[in-house]
Amino acid sequence: MKWLILVALFGLSAAQHNPHMKHGRTSIVHLFEWKWSDIAAECERYLGPNGFGGVQISPPTEHIILGNPVWRAWYQRYQPIGYNLCSRSGNEAQLRDMITRCNNVGVNIYVDVVINHMCGSGGGEGTHSSCGSWFSATREDFPSVPYSNLDFNDHKCKTGSGEIENYGDKYQVRDCRLVGLLDLALEKDYVRGKVAGFMNKLIDMGVAGFRVDACKHMWPGDLQNVYGRLHNLNTKWFSGGSRPFIYQEVIDLGGEAISAGEYTGLGRVTEFKYSAKIGNVIRKWSGEKLSYTKNWGEGWGFMANGNALVFVDNHDNQRGHGAGGASVLTFWDPRMYKMATAYMLAHPYGVTRVMSSFRWDRHFVNGKDVNDWMGPPAYSDGSTKPVPINPDSTCGDNWVCEHRWRQIKNMVIFRNVVNGQPHSNWWDNQSNQVAFGRGNRGFIVFNNDDWTLDVTLNTGMPGGTYCDVISGQKENGRCTGKQITVGGDGRAHFKISNSDQDPFVAIHADSNCKDVV
């Protein structure tokens, strides 16, 4: 009996670690602040054809509107005022249409859910919400759910201010307000039911899972209860008995009362050490070198591979929020950013998430970006602009679309092609030139030193001519960029100047343009 319960529990939690991607796909792209109609179109015209496994969408729930009419910080969407599926990205019908159209081209949808709190205590009252539902932050009254003051943690929090004052005290971190956000009493059956209810509605609409916001601020037992109430995925698109994929936002860089390990039994967890460290390695800060990444992954003190969700940057740390440090690489440093993202996508560790950002008027005053609040490209009435696609397939109107950069898109494909293959044929120069393969399916070489790389390496790949997918790609059977010849013995010569536009080269089984005869 005991054994059966253990099997059942393990089966349940291990299942929630599986992203259920289709056709051997492996990566998620976070289309931060995109509208549902744009995401639907992007699934059909770009993500499906280029092998992206899924999209993380911004919170779809009704949220407060900050500023009138145009202030509208991006982070207003992390202040829900109810669970109507109506947000700055679109209404419920548009959301449903997007989920259907993305699923139909094999691209999963993962929903960012904000269940730790409602809006900030200073949110006032009225109908300044994304769909006009009335609410009162002052009285903790959210009739569209409904929640009342009985559904919040005020009685449980023991700090004088009602705020989290000390991250060394796990009771404060979980029972008090995070930056003034009204903290939900997830210990209550009623609250758990309301939260699970809206997540189940999304599951039934066809989403594949959830990015769960602010998990550090919720008790693992409460989350386990909520997750336990979730339906299996919709069998229109997923096989019977599939559990929703769960990845939990817990920022654990060490040294706090709460660790990521408290949550890994329930689902995957965001590995923030990965983001911080890869920035240091590529920037060559803190004495880091690429050659030290021979044992990248668990060897670096990251959580177990099967528990990790990894990324170079996220929507917080790219702008100095949530553990954002100067080392974090973003699209603002494109050359290094492409290297870091390619390294992540080539390496077998973790489920990978690629960031897709909007540009804002970054403006540092005393080392702090005073415009870190700026919302997505918008019209003068504050509504979000659509994403226009240029003839060269880049995006316009300040949508950065990192996921469309050739080097990043091609590495998303690389990861699919080498899926399941071991990390192999490591080489380094004891400095910042490294290379590794993925079995006999792919090989990548980086030169992050200040001199030329010129070396012959064992790639593990079958003999043939391969197109480098960084300087170009294979088009109509020919290479638009560099070409690499692998001999019958698997060896190939690589020459990468430190002044190349992108100082790295990647080849894979599907970039083969001529077999050795």
Binding site for Ca ion (CB under 5 A): 116, 174, 183, 217
- Answer yes or no whether residue 165 interacts with ligand QV4 by CB under 6 A: no
Instruction: DSSP letter for 58, please.
Output: P
- When the beta carbons of 79 and 144 are compared against ligand QV4, the nearer one is 79
- Answer yes or no whether residue 213 interacts with ligand QV4 by CB under 6 A: yes
Catalytic sites, residue numbers: 213, 249
Q: What is the nearest approach in angstroms of ligand QV4 to the Cβ of residue 161? A: 8
The whole-angstrom separation of Cα 362 and Cα 452 is 34
Among Ca ion, ligand QV4, none, residue 75 binds (CB under 5-8 Å by kind): ligand QV4
- When the beta carbons of 4 and 365 are compared against ligand QV4, the nearer one is 365
The whole-angstrom separation of Cα 91 and Cα 186 is 27
Among Ca ion, ligand QV4, none, residue 477 binds (CB under 5-8 Å by kind): none
Closest CA to 208 of 355, 59, 28, 350: 28
- Answer yes or no whether residue 75 interacts with ligand QV4 by CB under 6 A: yes
Q: What is the nearest approach in angstroms of ligand QV4 to the Cβ of residue 499? A: 37
Number of neighbours of residue 175 by Cβ within 10 angstroms: 23
- Answer yes or no whether residue 175 interacts with ligand QV4 by CB under 6 A: no
Q: What is the nearest approach in angstroms of ligand QV4 to the Cβ of residue 133? A: 18
- Answer yes or no whether residue 321 interacts with ligand QV4 by CB under 6 A: yes
Number of neighbours of residue 421 by Cβ within 10 angstroms: 17
Write the burial class of residue 160 (CB in 10 Å: 0-12 exposed, 13-18 middle, 19+ buried). exposed
- When the beta carbons of 57 and 186 are compared against Ca ion, the nearer one is 186
Q: Where are the alpha helices (DSSP H) in 131-262?
A: 170-175, 189-205, 220-228
- Answer yes or no whether residue 60 interacts with ligand QV4 by CB under 6 A: no
Closest CA to 82 of 102, 100, 62: 62
Q: What is the nearest approach in angstroms of ligand QV4 to the Cβ of residue 160? A: 13
> How many residues belong to the site for ligand QV4 (CB under 6 A)?
21
Q: What is the nearest approach in angstroms of ligand QV4 to the Cβ of residue 298? A: 24
Among ligand QV4, Ca ion, none, residue 121 binds (CB under 5-8 Å by kind): ligand QV4
The whole-angstrom separation of Cα 274 and Cα 290 is 14
Q: Which stretch binds ligand QV4 (CB under 6 A): 38-46, 320-328, 356-364, 459-467?
A: 320-328
- Answer yes or no whether residue 251 interacts with ligand QV4 by CB under 6 A: yes
Describe the chain by its helix, strand, coil percentages, rounded to 5. Answer: 30, 25, 50
Q: What is the nearest approach in angstroms of Ca ion to the Cβ of residue 184? A: 7
467 CA to centre of own chain? 29
- When the beta carbons of 162 and 439 are compared against ligand QV4, the nearer one is 162
Residues 6+ apart with CB under 8 A from 46: 52, 404
- Give per-residue burial for 484-496: e unless 16+ CB within 10 Å, then b: bebeeebebebeb
Among Ca ion, ligand QV4, none, residue 78 binds (CB under 5-8 Å by kind): ligand QV4
Among ligand QV4, Ca ion, none, residue 183 binds (CB under 5-8 Å by kind): Ca ion
Closest CA to 108 of 242, 266, 274, 249: 242
Closest CA to 116 of 142, 91, 153: 153
| Amino acid at site 335 | R
Residues 6+ apart with CB under 8 A from 45: 389
- When the beta carbons of 161 and 485 are compared against ligand QV4, the nearer one is 161
Q: Which of residues 280-299 bind ligand QV4 (CB under 6 A)?
A: none
Closest CA to 107 of 59, 40, 152: 40
Q: What is the nearest approach in angstroms of ligand QV4 to the Cβ of residue 287? A: 27
- Answer yes or no whether residue 316 interacts with ligand QV4 by CB under 6 A: yes
Binding site for ligand QV4 (CB under 6 A): 75, 78-79, 114, 120-122, 163, 178-181, 213-214, 216, 249, 251, 316, 321-323
